[in-house]
Chains A and B, each alone.
Chain A
Amino acid sequence: MTDATIPAGASPQAKDSLLVPDARTRKRNASEARFRAYGLGAIVIAVIMLLILLFTIITDGIGAFRQTYLTIPVTLDAQQLDPSGNRDPEDLKKILTLTYGNMLNGAVEGVIAESGIQVADLTEKDVNDLISKEAAAQLRNRVLANPELIGQTVESRVLVNGRVDGYYKGRVSMASAALDGNTSPQQLQLADALKDAGLLATRWNWAFLSNPDASDQRPEAAGVGIAILGSLYMMLVVLFLAVPIGVAASIYLEEFATKNRLTDIIEVNISNLAAVPSIVFGILGLAVFINFSGLPQSAPIVGGLVLTLMTLPTIIIATRASLKAVPPSIRDAALGVGASKMQSVFHHVLPLALPGILTGTIIGLAQALGETAPLLLIGMVAFVKNFPSAPPEGLFDPASALPVQVYNWTQRADPAFIERASGAIIVLLVFLLCMNLLAIYLRRKFERRW
C-alpha cells in the first residue's frame, strides 16, 4: 500500500514499475496465496472425509431399507391349529410358534414340489432355514387376530433368512456360502429358482422403520421402530422441560437479576456445565432419578430428564445471547411509554429474541438426540421388543433410542446387523438434518436486523 501511494519518480530509489511487484510485495502476496491454499486444503480434506463417511454409511446401510420376501400359500390346517374346534382364543394361544413354523416349512416344500424346482444335494435343513424364524410368529399373530382364517389357505408374504437376503444385496456369495455354517450354495440356488418362479422378490422395506428390535437369530426382522419412538419421547420430555426452564432462567438472569458476585458465579457455572462430559449426567441420572426417586429403568422419562440436564446449559447460553442482541432502545422505548419491566420483556424483547432462542433450542435438541453415553448408565441400551404405550404413561415403559440402537447392533455377531446399524445411522442423520434445516429456516424467517 505504501509503495503505491508514493508517486513514481518522487523517490530516487524507486526505479521499478508499479506493475512489477518488488520483493516484499511478492513475499506478502505469496504468504496470502499460501494461507488461501491451506484454508482450501483444510476444507477439501474435511469434505473428502465427510464424503467417505457418508459413502460408507450409505453403501452399508441402504440395504436395510430393502428386504427379500417369499410369497407362498399356507394352508392353515384346522386340525393342528384348533384341535378342540371351538375357535376359543384361549385355546388358540396354546398352539405355539413351533407348530406354525412346521406349517410354513410344509408350505415351502409344497411350493418347491409344485413349481418343479430341482436343486442337487438340497437338504431338509436348507429348505427349513430358508424362511425367517420371524415368519412363524407373524403367522401366529395373524391367526390369533383373525381366527376365521383357520381352515383356509392364505397367501403369506414371509421374510427369508438374513443370509439369503444378503445374497441379493451382495453381502453373501456362492463362495462365502460354501464356508458358511448358516447357509449353503444349495440354499442360494433354491432361492434363485424361487426368484425365477416369481415367488421371491427383494422389495422396499418399510418394516425397518416400524419393526421393533429382533434377536441375534433373525436380523432380517430387526427394525428401528421402538428406537424412533423412544428418541421421540425423550425429545418431548426435553422440549417440555428444558425450554421453559432454560428460557425462564435466562430471562431472569439477563433482565431481572442484579449483577453481583452471586450471578457471576452462576454464570460461570452454567458455562462450565455446558462443557461437562455427558456421561457425568448419566451417573447423576442413575443416582438421582433411578436410585433415589425410584423411576423405572430403561424408561424414556429418565433418559429425557438426563438429556434435559445436559441440554439446559446450551439453551440458557443461546437464549441469553439472543436476549443480549436485542437493542436496549427497544426496552427503553417500552419503558418510556409506560410499560412495566415485565411487559417490556414479554411483549417486546422476548418476541424479538425468539428466532435465536428457537435456533439454540433446536441445536440443543439435535445434540441430545445423538447422545449415547448418559443412556448407557440408565439402562436404555437394552433389547426391547414391546412398543411403549402412548404418552404420558408410555414415558415410563421401557424403550430404546436411535444412537443406542446403533451401538447395540454393532456388537451383534451376525454380519447382517452391520447393515442394520448403518441403516439406523442413516435414519438418525435424516432426523438431525431435518432438525438443523428447521433451525436454519426459522432463523431466516424470523430474523430481524437493526
Chain B
Amino acid sequence: MKSAKFTVSALAVIAATATVAGAREQIQVAGSSTVLPYATIVAEAFGENTDFPTPVVESGGSSAGLKKFCEGVGENTIDIANASRAIREGEVEACAAAGVTDIMEVRIGYDGIVFASDINGNDFVFTAADWFNALAAEVVQDGKVVANPYTKWNEIRAELPDQEILAFVPGTKHGTREVFEEKVIAAGCEETGAAEVFAAEKADEDAAEAACMALRTDGKSVDIDGDYTETLARIQSSPNGIGVFGLSFYENNTDKLKVATIGGVTPSTETISSGEYPVSRPLFFYVKKQHIGTIPGLKEYVEFFVSDAMAGAGGPLAEYGLVADPELAATQQAVADEATMAK
C-alpha cells in the first residue's frame, strides 16, 4: 500500500509542477553545426551583458533545425533556426502549413571552405578542375566519357605532387557538401569542358548535371558524416588524405593542418570577403517573428547578434573565422524593422 500511495503522490507532484512551470524565459535555438560556434559565442556574450538568460543553443544540422523550426508556433517550439544554407521552398511551405508564417531571414556573414592536409605533407595548389578530375565518377579523356582512371594527383596535372588521391569530403547530410558540389565539383566540371561532353552524351540536362556532381565510389573519395574533428582524425591516421574543412576549424588547428590554395589564393577572412577565394557560402539564421514579444529578449538577441560589436569585421565572430558581411548595415536595418521574408 505504501508503495502505491507513494507512486500516486509522486505522479501528483509531477502533475502539479507541470502546471506551475510558467512561461519560457530563455530563447531556444537549434540547427547547423557550422553556425553553432558563432551562436554560442553570441549567446554567451548576450547572457553576460544583459539581464536576459543565456539562450540555449542546440546543434543537429541545418535541415534538422529547420524541421524543428517549422513544427509550429508556441512555447514548446524553437525560436531560431541556424542554417548554413538558405531555407528551401518546401521548408517555407511546411512552416506555413504549421502556422509559422512570419519568418525573418538574417544573414550573419560568410564561411569559407578550405582544403587542408597534414602539416608535414606536400604543398598543394589546386584548381576546381583538379578536384573534379580527382573525385568525379566519370571524367572526360580525349573527348570521351570514361570511368575516373586517376589514382595519383600528378596524373591529373604534372605540377601536383606525386601522392595518392584520397579525399575526405563532408557527407550528404552536411550543408557544406552542397557548397562543395556546387562551387568546386560543378565548377570544375565546367572548367574542364566535361559539362559540354556530358550534355551531349546524356539523355537530358538533369542527367548531365547529375553526372557532373557524381563522386567516385572506389574509396578515393570518403564521405565523412561526423564533424570536422572526425575529418581531422582521419587525416592524422592517413597523412595522404586531404580534407574539406570550414575556415574557422582550420584556423583553430593551424598547427596540425596545412591549407591548400585555390588558383594561388590562400583562404583567409580577407581573401574570402574580397571574393578572391572562390569557395564560400553565406550563413543564416531564421527567426520566428510570431515569438517576438512572447519570448523575452528574442529581438534583443537578434539585434545583438548582427551588431557591429559582434558580427562586424573586428568582432569576436570574425576573430573566430566568420567572414563579416559587407552588407551588415542592411541586415541590421532589416532586423530593426522586423522585416519578414517575401512570400
B 41-63 contacts with A by CB, 8 A: 41, 43-45, 47-49, 51, 53-54, 56-60
Q: Which residue of B lies closest to A251 (CB)?
A: B3
Q: Are B71 and A179 in contact (CB under 8 A)?
A: no
Interface of chain B: mostly helix, strand, loop or mixed: helix
**Cα–Cα, bound, A413→B229 (Å):** 7
Number of A residues near B (Cβ < 8 Å) is 57
Option from A98, A215, A396 in Cβ contact (under 8 Å) with B41: A215
Interface range on chain B (Cβ under 8 Å from partner): 35 or more
Binds B, one of A33-41, A69-77, A199-207, A289-297: A289-297
Q: Which of B7, B248, B309 has the most CB of A within 10 A?
A: B7
Option from A293, A379, A392 in Cβ contact (under 8 Å) with B30: A379
Q: Is B21's CB within 8 Å of the partner chain A? A: yes
User: A residues within 8 A CB of B74?
Assistant: 294
**Cα–Cα, bound, A295→B20 (Å):** 12
Binds B, one of A16-24, A239-247, A259-267: A239-247
Q: A181-B254, A411-B227 are in contact. Are A296 and B75 (CB under 8 A)?
A: yes
CB B59 to nearest CB in A, in angstroms, measures 7
Q: Are B76 and A383 in contact (CB under 8 A)?
A: no
Q: Are B58 and A412 in contact (CB under 8 A)?
A: no
Q: Are B7 and A248 in contact (CB under 8 A)?
A: yes
Q: Is A29's CB within 8 Å of the partner chain B? A: no
Binds A, one of B10-18, B152-160, B161-169: B10-18
Q: Is B252's CB within 8 Å of the partner chain A? A: yes
Q: Are A396 and B17 in contact (CB under 8 A)?
A: yes
CB B174 to nearest CB in A, in angstroms, measures 13
Q: Which residue of A lies closest to B249 (CB)?
A: A413
Q: Which residue of B lies closest to A245 (CB)?
A: B7
User: B residues within 8 A CB of A415?
Assistant: 252-253, 256
Option from B33, B49, B252, B309 in Cβ contact (under 8 Å) with A411: B33
CB A279 to nearest CB in B, in angstroms, measures 14
Q: Is B342's CB within 8 Å of the partner chain A? A: no
**Cα–Cα, bound, A137→B48 (Å):** 6
Q: Are A296 and B229 in contact (CB under 8 A)?
A: no
Q: Are A398 and B78 in contact (CB under 8 A)?
A: no
B 16-43 contacts with A by CB, 8 A: 17-18, 20-21, 24, 26, 28, 30, 33, 36-37, 39-41, 43
Q: Is A96's CB within 8 Å of the partner chain B? A: yes
CB B265 to nearest CB in A, in angstroms, measures 18
User: A residues within 8 A CB of B37?
Assistant: 215-217, 412-413
User: A residues within 8 A CB of B78?
Assistant: 297
Q: A296-B75, A414-B252 are in contact. Are A392 and B13 (CB under 8 A)?
A: yes
Q: Are A181 and B251 in contact (CB under 8 A)?
A: yes
Q: Which residue of B lies closest to A163 (CB)?
A: B255
**Cα–Cα, bound, A408→B53 (Å):** 21
Q: Is B2's CB within 8 Å of the partner chain A? A: yes
Q: Are B254 and A180 in contact (CB under 8 A)?
A: yes
Sorted from nearest, which 7 A-B pairs have the closest CB atoms? A385-B54, A176-B255, A215-B40, A216-B37, A244-B7, A396-B21, A383-B57
Q: A: which residues have CB within 8 A of B?
A: 93, 96-98, 133, 137, 140, 172, 176-177, 179-182, 214-218, 240-241, 244-245, 247-248, 251, 290-291, 293-298, 301, 342, 346, 376, 379, 381-386, 392-393, 395-396, 398, 408, 410-415
